[in-house]
Structure 1
Amino acid sequence: MSDRRLHRPHWLATGICTWALTAALAVPALAQDAAKAGNAQARQANTLQSLAELDGKAPTTRQLNIQHWNTAEGARVLFVEARELPMFDLRVTFAAGSSQDGDTPGLAALTNAMLNEGVQGKDVTAIAQGFEGLGADFGNGSYRDMAVASLRSLSAKDKRDQALKLFTEVTGKPTFPEDALKRLKNQMLAGFEYDKQNPGKLAGKTLFANLYGEHPYAHPSDGTPQSITGITLEQLRAFHAKAYTPGNAVIALVGDLNRSEAEAIAAQVSAGLPKGPALPAPAQPTEPKAGFTHIEFPSQQTHLMLAELGIDRQDKDWPALSLGNQILGGGAFGTRLMSEVREKRGLTYGVYSAFSPMQVRGPFMINLQTRAELSEGTLKLVQGILADYLRSGPTQQELDDAKRELAGSFPLSNASNASIVGQLGAIGFYNLPLSWLEDFMQQSQALTVEQVKDAMNKHLSADKLVIVTVGPKVPQKPLPAPTDKPSGQPLGVPEH
């Protein structure tokens, strides 16, 4: 099956639109050294800790023993051995996202979508049945920075060998059947028509265009009706030949494998790809002009998006910015934005902020919906909250609470093979240190109020916002006064 919304925790966000992040984490724990970990230790690792046992301490987390090497063809490999379950997860990440589309928006997305539509002697149905018959699962997805192909399979040799053979054919030698291309184009064109009725989609596309201008991040990852219609089989094959190469790939492996088995798997996958080097990363975007755009849309509500350029994935301020954003609007209830906009005034169902660091500077965004007649006042309120937060910084209590929340959620980053393989893929793709997860946690817990405030002000300014609103133009009403007990239900319940 194709999964275009692969999950990653917020501290390793890999650059897709943050409001589209979905999925779940499974629970089997990973032993650091599976060869020495007995059943008793595995049971202990999977035992829930009570709040009394924690007594203010962070939940137990494991240090990952990440092994790494390069294949003969140049693919980078990261591997973690995990013997708890008789299965393994494989994820191949290519620098083949929409930032590599060139003059043909949607080329990367359509190429990735076509991978499992046909190989020599098998159509899309036979491929799906092949994986399912082996108890294996294939996934793929395309984003701004990257394209992904993944496999989950039983580790028994007979099942593993067959699943890998099919996976290698799908990723390395797709046949790009013409009938499948027509079908996928029709599906994408239907999706574009649906997007016209979705104010969030309209706002997001306009926001990225305004924020990035002529930069490759500006155009929609899925392309446009005009560009998708004109894409040919020859273009798909050419893009696959240059972008799905070992030199342009990171192979992540987690599961019931030893080093020699992992090396054999990586070698097989790498050798099956078209030969070629890494593609150059996109250039850094230029700073956009602050501005306001309104799109008229028949609705009871107005969708508000505020953004500015944030950071790239290599920026050393990421721990401070991540924690600072958690306090501003990156969490659930209790953030500055949620407290002032929803809890005290009932203006929205939810308001969120997020950094999305990518290969080059990704966006910082604030996103919410509210009643159309209160939209102008709500926008000014949100702008004021951001300006005040940058001016004053977090309180010590807010910082302490954010650190505790991070310490509690952080173990989920290595709670399952699926979550670990995602972390490995991101570490390899963004060329982060192998100790990055542990470093991030230690650096976050050591941050002071002043360090968080300085980092937020270094990278954000309330005067640089690019703003897009989508909704009807209606007479405006004054905002309700803040109160501890707003009357009625929160406004701005999502309509779409």
Structure 2
Amino acid sequence: MSERNGLRFGLLGLAVIVLVTGLVFFIGRPAAVGEGAPPAVQTSGESTPPVLQSLAEVADKAVSHRKLDIQQWKTAEGARVLFVEAHELPMFDLRLTFAAGSSQDGDNPGLAMLTNAMLNEGVPGKDSTAIASGFEGLGADFGNGSYRDMAVASLRSLSDADKRAAALQLFEQVVGQPSFPEEALERIRNQALSAFEYQKQNPGKLAGIELFERLYGKHPYAHSSDGDEHSVPKIGVAQLRAFHQKAYAAGNTVIALVGDLSRSEAEAIAAQVSGALPKGPALPAPAAPEVPKPGVHHIEFPSKQTHLMLAQLGIVRNDPDWPALYLGNQILGGGGFGTRLMEQVREKRGLTYGVYSGFTGMQTRGPFTIGLQTRAEVSEGTLKLVQDIVRDFLASGPTQKELDDAKRELAGSFPLSTASNADIVGQLGAIGFYNLPLDYLENFLAQVQSLTVEQVKAAMNRHLDADAFVVVTAGPTVEQKPLPAPSDKPVEQPVGIPEH
């Protein structure tokens, strides 16, 4: 699966906030469906035809989780390697995760994004077309992407020795010897500038940018991972080369490998890739951000709907409270339909098409966010309703039924997080990058299933405060109307597909 073919224009922070369909960032997500999922019905190998079980029979039975034997070592150059053998298919997935996200941009917002986008634009003797044709001709797939914490480069290839060797040789050149051709940089800069112009017409993107600036102040997480219209034009080839030399160093990467390889073959691949990277140590993680002052900030925008975005500082990814916070948020607003927020804001009052909340664990304190759109004339009341729902949830905690239902849903969906090799290699990259225990995937579900109402309530209160939200709204200033009373059949139906 390719994570970037060309320039990624999305904003990580915004994407976390505005997705109202239940998207959860990275490794905590249990429902990552991919190829290689187990068949719905399995036989014992005998001639007896399979028997389909009724939903009633299997409703309370957890899907078996794929057990992983994660092997770990370091290369001579200091790269951390995590490897899982998987011989079901004659292929392998390789993922390099660098501490080379926009938090390392310094005074040049957009530097990390441009460096990563330029990896496959040219190497000595090959332009972007030759690189793309080279991977395609080998049946291989190259992917790349950059975010606030990290940048990634990935390869999927057949494990046949000849195809593997050729694909790895090209991959090594792309990640270790990018030539950063000036004409390609000019093209990508122009694409970025066009995207910035588009953002000015999108209230959701404007609100997301403003939210992170208000939440993080002078911290590196404050600026967009794509940079801005002022910073990107100033970034030149010399800066890209210097950033690549520093941030794409072997000591600053985690190498994840999954597939039809032996341990000795995996060691050879890791050594080969590590040796092709610049030499250098791991970069320090960003410092802890200062706690921002809560308050409401409005962006005037001519539209029928108002975007409401709420955020406060959350947690680091390896915080021991992560399982409890994940489960608590699934009940509050992260689990789609049936959550507190969705039930009260959409189902009972018809105020929104969807509302979503989520923790984003990062190297330092990532955000906890809530996002929705509503009719402009009820935006103030809706904002207060959302804050009151959070306040009540922190005060009373989840009910036992809510907790049991969330645990049951997670038990059914969690096995999908390791359903394919692509899923696993992403999980390994995150485990290595965020220094999670090697048995994290094995223990996460058990930790969640053992949680009590009191433990979830306590964890949510340790990390959230209903009065600490930084709020950004984007929409028109109009006369406000009172909210409708809650009803099982609200008079006002949810607004249609979000405007942006």
Matched, 1:18 2:22: no
- 1:115-134 to structure 2, matched below 5 A, reads 115-134=119-138
Correspondent of 1:478 among 479, 482, 485: 482
Q: Counterpart of 1:60 in 2: which secondary structure?
A: coil
Q: Which residue is equivalent to 1:412? A: 416
Taking a change above 3 Å as real, the CA distance of residues 53 and 256 of structure 1, as seen in their structure-2 partners, is farther
Given residue 234 of structure 2, which amino acid in structure 1 is its aligned partner? Answer: G
Following superposition, the deviation at residue 55 of structure 1 comes to 4.6
The residue that corresponds to 1:112 in the other structure is 116
Cα shift readout 1:235-288 (whole Å, capped 9, x = no counterpart): 000000000011000000001111111111111110000000000000011111
**Counterpart residue type for residue 230 of structure 2:** Q
Q: Residue deviations 1:132-181, cap 9 Å, x none?
A: 11111100000000000001111111111111100010000000000000
Query: Who is 1:490 aligned against?
Result: 494
- 2:11 matched to 1:3? no
Secondary structure of 1:302's counterpart equals strand
CA offset at residue 75 of structure 1?
A: 0.3
- Alignment partners' CA distance in 1, 2:420 and 2:216: 36
* More displaced stretch, 417-426 vs 436-445: 436-445
When residues 409 and 133 of structure 1 are mapped into structure 2, their CA distance, relative to the original with a 3 A threshold, is: same
Question: Percentage identity across aligned positions?
Answer: 73
Q: 2:61 and 2:222 mapped to 1: Cα distance? A: 44
Relative to 1, partners in 2 of residues 1:163 and 1:182: Cα closer, same or farther, differing over 3 Å?
A: same
Instruction: Spell out, residue by residue over 1:362-414, the C-alpha distance to the aligned partner (whole angstroms, 9 max, x if none).
Output: 00000000011110111111011011111110000000000001111100111
Q: How does 1:357-376 map to 2 (within 5 A)?
A: 357-376=361-380
5+ residue gaps, structure 1: 6-13, 31-38, 42-46
Report matched runs for 1:130-209 at 5 Å.
Answer: 130-209=134-213
Q: CA deviation at 1:2?
A: 5.7
Q: Give the CA deviation at 1:478.
A: 1.1
CA contact (8 A) 1:302 1:469 kept: yes
Partner residue of 2:358 out of 354, 358, 366: 354
What is residue 96 of structure 2 aligned with on the other side? 92
Instruction: Report the 3-state secondary structure (helix = DSSP H, G, I; strand = E; otherwise coil) of the residue aligned with 1:226.
Output: coil
| 2:343 pairs with 1:345 | no
Preserved contact between residue 293 and residue 468 of structure 2 (Cα < 8 Å): yes
Secondary structure, aligned partner of 1:423: helix
Deviation at 1:487, TM superposition (A): 3.0
**What is the SS of the residue equivalent to 1:225?**
coil
Once the two structures are superposed, the pairs formed by residues 317-466 of structure 1 within 5 Å of their partners are: 317-466=321-470
Match of 1:35 in 2: none
SS at match of 2:230: helix
Q: Distance in 2 between matches of 1:61 and 1:54?
A: 15
* Cα distance change of structure 1 residues 352 and 271 upon mapping to structure 2, 3 Å threshold: same
In structure 1, the residue matched to 2:281 is 277
Whether the aligned pair in 2 keeps the contact of 1:324 and 1:453 (CA below 8 Å) is yes
For 1:244, the equivalent position in structure 2 comes to: 248
CA distance in 2 between partners of 1:49 and 1:97 (Å)? 47
Whole-Å separation in 2 of the counterparts to 1:248 and 1:17: 26
Give the TM-score, by structure 1 length.
0.93
Cα deviation for residue 54 of structure 1 reads 2.6
Q: Give the equivalent residue in structure 1 for 2:8.
A: none
Q: How many Å separate the matches in 2 of 1:88 and 1:40? A: 28
Tell me how far 1:444 sits from its aligned partner.
Answer: 0.5
**CA separation of 1:486 and 1:306: change in aligned 2, threshold 3 A:** same
- Is the CA contact (8 Å cut-off) linking 2:157 and 2:167 kept in structure 1? yes
Q: Secondary structure at the match of 1:305?
A: strand
Structure 2 unmatched runs, 5+: 6-11, 25-30, 46-50
Whether the 8 Å CA contact 1:285–1:361 is kept in 2: the answer is yes
Query: Which of 284, 299, 309 is matched with 2:313 structurally?
Result: 309
* Structure 1 contact 92–150 (Cα < 8 Å) conserved: yes
**Cα distance between partner residues in 2 of 1:262 and 1:52:** 44
Equivalent residue, structure 2, for 1:28 = 36
- Decide whether the 8 Å contact of 1:241 with 1:274 is kept in 2: yes
Cα drift, residue 489 of structure 1: 3.2
CA distance in 1, matches of 2:301, 2:346: 24
Q: Is the 8 A contact 1:347 1:371 kept in 2?
A: yes
Are the counterparts in 2 of residues 371 and 492 from structure 1 also a CA contact under 8 Å? no
**Match of residue 296 from structure 1:** 300
1:113-141 deviation digits (Å, cap 9, x = unpaired): 00000001111111111111111110000
Cα deviation for residue 200 of structure 1 reads 1.2
Work out whether residues 28 and 416 of structure 1, in 8 Å CA contact, stay in contact via their aligned partners in 2: yes
1:408-454 Cα shifts (integer Å, max 9, x gaps): 11001110000000000000000111001122111110000000000
Aligned partner of 1:227 in structure 2 is: 231
Question: Per-residue displacement from partner, 1:55-92 (whole Å, max 9, x unpaired)?
Answer: 51211112110011101111000000111111111100
Q: Report the Cα offset of residue 29 of structure 1.
A: 5.0
Q: Distance in 2 between matches of 1:352 and 1:303?
A: 13
Select between 259-268 and 350-359 the one with higher mean Cα deviation: 259-268
CA distance in 2, matches of 1:340, 1:489: 13
Give 1:49 deviation, angstroms. 7.4
One of 52, 60, 63 as aligned partner of 1:59: 63
Specify the SS of the correspondent of 1:182: helix
State the secondary structure of the residue aligned to 1:165: helix
Aligned positions, number: 477
